[in-house]
Amino acid sequence: MTSASDSPSPAAVRLIATDLDGTLLRDDKTVSDRTVAALAAAEEEGIEVFFVTGRPARWMAAVSDHVHGHGLAICANGAAVADLHAGGKLVKVRPLERAVALDVVRSLRAAAPGTSFAVELATGIHYELAYPPLHLDPRATVAPVEKLLYEEVPGTGSPMLKLLAHHTDLEPDAFLAVAVEAAGDRAAFTRSSPTALLEVSATGVSKASTLELCCAERGISPAEVVAFGDMPNDVEMLRWAGTSYAMGNAHPAALAAATGRTATNAEDGVAVVIEQIIAARRAPGRVR
C-alpha cells in the first residue's frame, strides 16, 4: 500500500471521487478552507470532482457550494445522482423495489429480532417508532415499515432509494454479516455508521457502480479516477478506481481495499493528495 506522497501520475487523473463523512468532511461536518482550496484547484486544472456519499441529496448543504462544473453528486450509496446546482434535484434513480424491501424486512426480523427500519424514498425518509429519531427530518412519518412501504397501486409510489435497518444490541460488523447471510441474495447490504445501522440497496447498486456509469458517460476509465473513502460502503469504489486512498481513520475493510493511504479527515487527507497532484501538474517544465 502506498502513502499519500506516492500520488498517481497527474497527467492521468481526470476525475476525483470522494466520500464525505469521515473523509472529505472534518468531524464537525464542515469542509476546511484547505480542502475548499484544493477542490477549486482541481476544477481549475480540468479535473472533475464527484462527491460520492451515503447521504441523501437533502443533506448535501455542507458541500453544495463546492461542486463546480457539472454540479452532480452521487447520493444514497449510488441509488441516486443529484444536481446540486438545481437544489438537489434527482437526475438519476436506481430504486429498490418495495416488494424486495418487504422480503428483506421479514428475513432480518427472523435473523435478528429487535431490528427496526427506516425507508428512504426519493421524496424523503420515514421510519418506525423504535428506529433512532431523525432530528434532521422532522416531517418524517413514523409508522410500521409495512405501512411505510404500502402502495395502493403497485409502482405508483415515490421511488425507494434504500432501506435502513438498525439494531441496538449487535455489533455493526456482526449485524452486517447476519444480514448478508439472511438476505444477501436479494439486495445489496453495506454500512457507514459507527452504530449497527445497515443500508440496503437494490442488487448491483453501489457507489462504484453508479460512479462507473457517470464515468462512462464522460469517457473516463477507472485508471483515470482517484477515489477516497473510509467505511465499508466505500470498498467497491476504492477497488474500482485505478488509484484509491483510505483515510488514516478508515475501517479495516476500506484500508484493505485501497491502493494507498492518506492522512485522517481531521488532517485534511483528501486535500493532501489533491495538492500533490496539482503541484505535479503545475511543475515548471511540464508539457501542458
Share of residues in the chain with pLDDT > 90 (%): 85
Mean pLDDT of 223-249: 97
Per-residue confidence (pLDDT) for residue 153, from 0 to 100: 86
Dihedral of CA atoms 134, 135, 136, 142 in degrees, nearest 10, equals 50
Per-residue confidence (pLDDT) for residue 39, from 0 to 100: 96
Going across the sheet that includes 260-261, the strands are: 2-3, 260-261, 243-246, 225-229, 15-18, 48-52, 72-75, 80-83, 89-93
Instruction: For residues 75 and 90, give the distance between their C-alpha atoms in angstroms, rounded to a whole number.
Output: 9
Instruction: For residues 198 and 140, give the distance between their C-alpha atoms in angstroms, rounded to a whole number.
Output: 19
Please check the confidence at residue 288 and state whether its pLDDT lies above 90: no
Query: What are the Cα distances from residue 245, in Å, to 85, 211, 223, 260?
Result: 28, 16, 14, 5
* Domains contained in the chain, CATH given: 2-93+206-281 (3.40.50.1000), 98-201 (3.30.1240.10)
Mean pLDDT of 165-187: 98
Mean pLDDT of 161-168: 98
Least confident interval from 7-11, 78-82, 166-170: 7-11
Least confident interval from 69-83, 91-105, 129-143, 214-228: 129-143
**Is 222 in a helix, a strand, or coil?**
helix
Nearest-CA neighbor of 236 among 272, 202, 262, 212? 212
Per-residue confidence (pLDDT) for residue 8, from 0 to 100: 62
Instruction: For residues 67 and 31, give the distance between their C-alpha atoms in angstroms, rounded to a whole number.
Output: 12
Chain center to CA of 211: 10
Global confidence as pTM? 0.93
User: What is the sign of the dihedral through the CA atoms of 73, 76, 78 and 82?
Assistant: negative
Per-residue confidence (pLDDT) for residue 139, from 0 to 100: 82
Share of residues in the chain with pLDDT > 70 (%): 94
Contact predicate 53/85, CB 8 Å = no
Residues β-bridged to residue 215: none
Please check the confidence at residue 10 and state whether its pLDDT lies above 60: no
Per-residue confidence (pLDDT) for residue 49, from 0 to 100: 95
Instruction: For residues 216 and 225, give the distance between their C-alpha atoms in angstroms, rounded to a whole number.
Output: 12
The mean of the pLDDT values for the chain is 93
Instruction: For residues 75 and 67, give the distance between their C-alpha atoms in angstroms, rounded to a whole number.
Output: 14
**Is 232 in a helix, a strand, or coil?**
helix
Instruction: For residues 9 and 12, give the distance between their C-alpha atoms in angstroms, rounded to a whole number.
Output: 6
Band of the pLDDT at 284, cuts 50, 70, 90?
A: confident
Q: Which three cell numbers stand for residue 140?
A: 418524517
Please check the confidence at residue 5 and state whether its pLDDT lies above 80: no
**Is 81 in a helix, a strand, or coil?**
strand
C-alpha count within 13 angstroms, C-beta hemisphere, residue 103: 13
Mean pLDDT of 171-197: 97
Per-residue confidence (pLDDT) for residue 134, from 0 to 100: 78
Please check the confidence at residue 7 and state whether its pLDDT lies above 60: no
**Residue 230: how many CB atoms within 10 A of its CB?**
28
